[in-house]
Amino acid sequence: MDRADISSMPLPRLEQWVTDALGQPRFRAGQLFKWLHQKQAISFDQMTDLPAALRETLARQAEIAGVSTRLCQVSRQDGTRKYLLELADGNLCISTQVGCRMGCAFCASTLGGLVRSLTAGEMLGEVYEVQRQTGGPVDSLVLMGIGEPLDNFDSVLDFLDILSSPQGRNMSLRHVSLSTCGLADEIDRLAEKKLGLTLSVSLHAADDATRSAIMPINKKYDIGRLMASCKAYYEATGRRISYEYALIDGVNDTPAHADRLARLLAGQNCHVNLIPVNPVAERGTRRSKDSAIRAFRQLLEDRGLNATVRRELGSDIAAACGQLRRAMDN
């Protein structure tokens, strides 16, 4: 018999499972939820205020999504920590999926395709494992990669529900950013939830020809469709959107590209996060020259856009999305 993944259940669903599947009173679900997400128990034996018979039943009928640290690297340059986390079935991942099927031409995460999506409990397990390793709370989160969060929409929503629950981890979603390569239909669904998180859109080009060449998702949701969803998201939530733009030498980093981007985003309440692309051996993409990065940012600022260049952290420990996992797999 398959055991129920109770660590992935938001509190109302856990209450229903406890009463229907176990025949227990509803308050037991509240006790379980606190053990899982406040005390972050990793076994039922730790749940000492539950009757021994119930703990035995839980061990037979339920499971807690397990995540462990396979490798932790600390950058000598800037102190950035990179965790390679291992799931119970042996897959390696951080964030919302093992691998990715979006196929972006500059990204290491997608080289092996999508293996599977994570459960909400596994995503929470990542947070709890890092807290155990560091001895302190995680006070902000970015759902970025490995994986496309909106390609695992329902589990990500359950994760955010549990993460922000007052009976659980109780993290304000204003400290959470969710990055997407541009799944416009799912952006529309997310807008309906009005969650208060920050939406980061991986744009990387302001014209369809360039964007389609480096991001296959643009062939399904072109820039016009994506911008319509982004504007609707802002209107529904009042939350400023962050646009991510990876600068790739000779591909999307010229003054003409900057001018197109400035015209595309004119009038939007947004922020542009310029990212010097990380080298990936299998991709052959090169980081833009410092002079091109400075000129690109200056043109955007001259046109009235808020633009910053992301600090390059952890380059000596393969800290970009998918790089460390790829190195270990090879």
Q: How many structural domains is the chain composed of?
A: 2
Of 38, 63, 88, which one is at a domain's C-terminal end? 63
Question: Is 15 in the same domain as 158?
Answer: no
Could you tell me the CATH number of the domain that includes residue 147?
Answer: 3.20.20.70
Question: Is 41 in the same domain as 171?
Answer: no
Question: Is 106 in the same domain as 187?
Answer: yes
Question: Is 42 in the same domain as 54?
Answer: yes
Q: Is the pLDDT of residue 327 over 50?
A: no
Question: Is 219 in the same domain as 318?
Answer: yes
- pLDDT (0 to 100) of residue 144: 86
Paired tokens of 317: 């420990």
Question: Is 199 in the same domain as 136?
Answer: yes
Q: How far is 296 from 300, CA to CA, in rounded Å? A: 6
Question: Is 73 in the same domain as 27?
Answer: no
Q: Is the pLDDT of residue 273 over 80?
A: yes
The per-residue pLDDT of the chain, averaged, comes to: 90
Q: What is the DSSP code string of 161-187? A: HHHH-TTTT---GGGEEEEES--HHHH
Question: Is 40 in the same domain as 103?
Answer: no
Paired tokens of 312: 């390059």
Which residues 6+ apart lie within 8 Å of 295 measured at CB?
255, 258
Question: Is 76 in the same domain as 156?
Answer: yes
Question: Is 36 in the same domain as 97?
Answer: no
Of 63, 81, 107, which one is at a domain's C-terminal end? 63
Question: Is 198 in the same domain as 318?
Answer: yes
| Domain containing residue 273 | 67-329
Question: Is 32 in the same domain as 130?
Answer: no
State yes or no: cis peptide before 146, omega within 30 of 0: yes
Q: What is the average per-residue pLDDT within 100-123?
A: 91
> pLDDT tens digit string along 94-109?
579 999 999 998 888 8
Of 14, 47, 63, which one is at a domain's C-terminal end? 63
| pTM over the 0.95 mark | no
